[in-house]
Chain A
Amino acid sequence: MSPPIPYVNSADLHALLPTTVIAAAGLLALVVDLFMSAGRARRWIAVAIAAAGLVIAGVLTAQQYGHSYPAFGGAYMQGGFAVVLGEIAIFATLVSLGLGIGIGRDDQVAGTTAIVLWSTCGALLMAGAGNLMMIFLGLELLSLGLYCLCAMSVRSAARESGLKYLLLSSMASGFLLYGMALLFGGTGSVALAAISAAPPSPLIALGAGLFLVGIAFKLSLVPFHSWTPDVYEGAPLSVTAYMSVVTKAGALGVLGRFAYAALPPATANAILLPVWTVAAISMIVGNLAALQQIDMKRLLAYSGIGQVGYIVAAFAGQTPLGLRYAIFYLAAYTFMNLGAFAVVALMLKDADGSLGVGAFAGLAYRRPWLAAAMTFFLLSLAGLPPTAGFTGKILILASSVGAGYWWLSVLLIAGTAISVYVYFKIVRAMFVRVDEAHVRAERSTNPLPWISIAVCAAAVFVLGIYPLAPSDIIPLAK
C-alpha cells in the first residue's frame, strides 16, 4: 500500500477561511431567497447577507496580515500582498453591490449576488496563487461568473457584452493555458518557484510569453484591450464597477508574483520588456481614446486602460519598492474609480441605464455636493494633489526612474498630460451654467452610493497626504 498522501492541515484551511466565508455567504443568500415572497425586501436581504459575509471575510483577511504561510504545499500563499489585494477585492465587491442594491430584477438578485461573491472568491485565489493550477482555477472562477453578470440586463447591449466577454476571454484563457502547458513542459512542475529554479530554455520563454498575453488581456493592456469599452458599456453599472477593480486586483496579483518570484533573474528583464512596452502604449492610447468618448462607462473603461498602464509600469525593473508602489496605486485607483462610479450611480434613476457625459452639464448648480465629490475623484484620476492619485504617480515615477526606465517615466508624464484634458472636460461641464431643460437630470433613490462616496473620498484624501504609508504598511511578495 502506498504511503498516505500529505493531507491538508488546519493552517491550510485557515488560509482559505476568508474565501470559504464568502462562498458560504453566497450559498446562504441563495437558500434564504428560496423562502422569501416576491418584493423589494428580497434585494435588501440578499445584499445584507453578502455584506455580512464580506465584512467577516475582510476581518479574517486582515488577521492574516504579516502571517506568511505557503498553504497546500505552496499552491496558495497566505499573507504578503495577497492580504492587500484581497481587501481591495472585498471592498470593491461591497461597493459594487451597493451601487444598485444587487444586480438585475428583484427575483434575480439572490442569484446574481451569489455569483458576484463566488467571482470574488476567484479573485482572492488569484491574488494568493502560488502555482499555475491555482492561477487558472481562480481566473476561471472569476471569469465564469462575470460572463453571466455582464448579460444580467434586458438591454441587448448587455447580451452583446456578455457574449463578447465570453468569446474573447475564452480566447485569452486559451493563450494562458497554452503558456502554462509550455511552462510545465519546460520545468516539470506547476509551482511558480520551480520556474525560476529551472535552467533557461526556449520552452520557458515561449510559455512565459503566452502566459503574459493571457494576463495582459485580463488587465486590458493595449493591444489586448479592444473588448473593454464594449463590455463595460453593455454590462450593468454595478458589474462594470466590479470588473474595473476586482479583475485588476486578481490579475495584478498574478502578474506581480510571476514577475517577481517566478522568472529566473537572468532572463526576467528580456521576458518582461514587452510587458513594460505594452504598459507604456496603454498609458498613451487609453487616454487618447478616452478623449473621444461621450458615454461615461466607455470613458471610464478607456481611462482604466491608462490607469492599469501606470500600475504595470511600477513593476518595471522588478524593484521591491515598485511592487509596493504598484499596490499602493491600485488601492488609490480602487477608491477614486469606485467613487466616480458611485457618482454615476447617483445620477441614474435605474442602476441599469447608461449615462452620457452631457448629463454632467451644470451639475455644480443642481447638486453641488455630488459635483464636488466627482471633481475630487477626477482630480485624483488625473493625478493632481492633494489626492492619492498624485502620490501614487509620484511613487511610480520614482520607482521607474530608480530602475533606469527613463522612457517609461517620460511616457507616463505624457499620458498624464493627456488624461488631465479628458477629466477636466467633465469638470468644466459641471461648472458651466446651462439651461436645465436641455439636461437629462435623473436621480437615484438608493442612498447607499453616498456611503461609498464618503468612504472613497476620505480614503483618497488620506492616502494622498500620507505618502509614507505604502512602504510601511504593504509587505513584500515573498
Chain B
Amino acid sequence: MTPYGPVAIYLAVALAAALLFTVLPGLMAQRKPNAVKSEAYECGVEPTSDVSGRFPVRFYLIAMLFVVFDVEAASFYPWAVQMHQLRVFGLLEMIVFVIVLGIGYAYVWKRGGFQWR
C-alpha cells in the first residue's frame, strides 16, 4: 500500500484546502449588507430574467458537432508528437482516421447539419 501513501496525503490536503477556503471566509468576514452590495455580481446591465431559460434545440446540435470534431481533432496531437517514431505505420493509421472523420463530416454537411434552420 506504500505507493498509495502520497495519493492519500494529496487527497487529505485537497480536502482540507477546499474546506479552509470555503468555510473560513464565512466565519471571519464582517457583514454590512446594503442594496447595492446585494445585487447580482454582473458586469453591465442588470439581469432581467432567470438565466436557466429555454433556448432553441439547434444550439445543442452545433454544440454536439463541435464537441465531436473538437475531440477528434485533439487526437491528432499524440500522433503529431510521436510522428517520427511511428513512421509510415502512424501515417497510414492517421490517413484512415482522417478518411473516417471526412465521411462523418460529409454526412453531416449533406444532411444539412451545418445549416441554421
Chain A: residues with CB nearer than 8 A to chain B? Answer: 2, 4-5, 7-8, 27, 30-31, 34, 185
Say yes or no for B103: interface residue by CB 8 A criterion.
yes
* Pairwise interchain contact A34-B107, C-beta atoms closer than 8 A: yes
Interface string of B69-106 (1 = CB under 8 A from A): 00000000000000001110100000000001001001
Q: B107 to A30, Cβ gap below 8 A?
A: yes
Chief secondary structure at chain B's binding surface: helix
Instruction: Verify B85–A27 contact, CB threshold 8 A.
Output: no
Is B32 at the interface (CB under 8 A from chain A)?
Answer: no
Tell me the minimal C-beta distance from B60 to chain A in angstroms: 14
A-chain residues with CB within 8 Å of residue B85 when the two chains form the complex: 2, 4-5
Inter-chain CA distance A31–B106, complex, in Å, is 8
Q: Which residues of B contact A (CB under 8 A)?
A: 4, 85-87, 89, 100, 103, 106-107, 110-111
Residues of A within 8 A of B106 (CB): 31, 34
Residues of A within 8 A of B87 (CB): 4
Kindly list chain B residues whose C-beta atoms are within 8 Å of the C-beta of A8: 89
Query: Which B residues touch A30, using CB under 8 A?
Result: 103, 107
Q: Which residues of A sit under 8 angstroms from B107, Cβ to Cβ?
A: 30-31, 34
The CA of A2 and the CA of B87, in the complex, are separated in Å by: 13
> In the complex, which residues of chain A have a beta carbon less than 8 angstroms from the beta carbon of B89?
7-8
Q: A4-B85, A8-B89, A27-B103 are in contact. Are A34 and B4 (CB under 8 A)?
A: no
Closest 7 CB pairs of A and B: A34-B110, A7-B89, A30-B107, A27-B103, A31-B103, A34-B107, A5-B85
Chain B residue contacts of A5, Cβ below 8 A: 85-86
13 interchain pairs (CB within 8 A)? A2-B85, A4-B87, A5-B86, A7-B89, A27-B100, A27-B103, A30-B103, A30-B107, A31-B106, A31-B107, A34-B106, A34-B107, A185-B4
Q: What is the CB-to-nearest-CB distance from B96 to chain A, in angstroms, rounded to a whole number?
A: 10
List residues of chain A with CB within 8 A of the CB of B103: 27, 30-31
- CB closest chain-B residue, reference A2: B85
Closest A residue to B103 by beta carbon equals A27
Other contacts beyond A5-B85, A30-B107, A31-B107: 16, CB < 8 A = A2-B85, A4-B85, A4-B87, A5-B86, A7-B89, A8-B89, A27-B100, A27-B103, A30-B103, A31-B103, A31-B106, A34-B106, A34-B107, A34-B110, A34-B111, A185-B4
Complex Cα distance, B111 from A34, in Å, reads 8
Q: Which residue of B lies closest to A7 (CB)?
A: B89
Shortest beta-carbon distance from B72 to chain A in Å: 15
A364 CB, min distance to chain B CBs, angstroms? 47
What's the least CB distance linking B47 to chain A, in Å?
31
CA gap between A34 and B108 in the complex, in Å: 10
Chain B residue, CB-CB nearest to A3: B85
Q: Which residues of A contact B86 (CB under 8 A)?
A: 5
In the complex, what residues of B have CB within 8 A of residue A185's CB? Answer: 4
| Interchain CA distance A27-B96 in the complex, whole Å | 12
Chain B residues contacting A34 (CB-CB under 8 Å) are 106-107, 110-111
